[in-house]
Amino acid sequence: MTELLYATPTHSFPIYPIKGAPMSEIEKKEVAKLKSDIKADIKSVFENYLSVSGWDVPENDENVSASLILDAIKEAVSELEKDL
């Protein structure tokens, strides 16, 4: 099995893609931190694209843009899941 590596500017650690595998307390804390970081990153990407869509088209419907951006994010995640 290929080991994935998650890296931040301050540290890196392996991600084990086996669901339900037993984890130590430190691994649980790292996974919780990883999830928190991913959620923050995705929110930042979403908000960035939403603001840019408003610049490009001033009469833009923000709800429609938000839906299109979320669809693109979901599609990207789906493609990543297929690659695992």
Question: According to the model, what pLDDT value does residue 2 have?
Answer: 44
With the C-alpha atoms ordered 32, 1, 79, 56, is the resulting torsion angle positive or negative?
A: positive
Report whether pLDDT(3) > 60.
no
Q: Give the containing element (helix H, strand E) for 13.
A: strand 12-15
Asked whether the beta carbons of 10 and 33 are under 8 A apart, the reply is: no
31-73 per-position pLDDT tens digit: 889 999 999 999 999 999 988 887 767 777 888 889 999 999 9
Q: Which amino acid is at 12?
A: S
Q: What are 10-19's contacts with CB under 8 Å, separation 24+? A: 17/84
Domain-wise residue ranges, the chain: 17-83
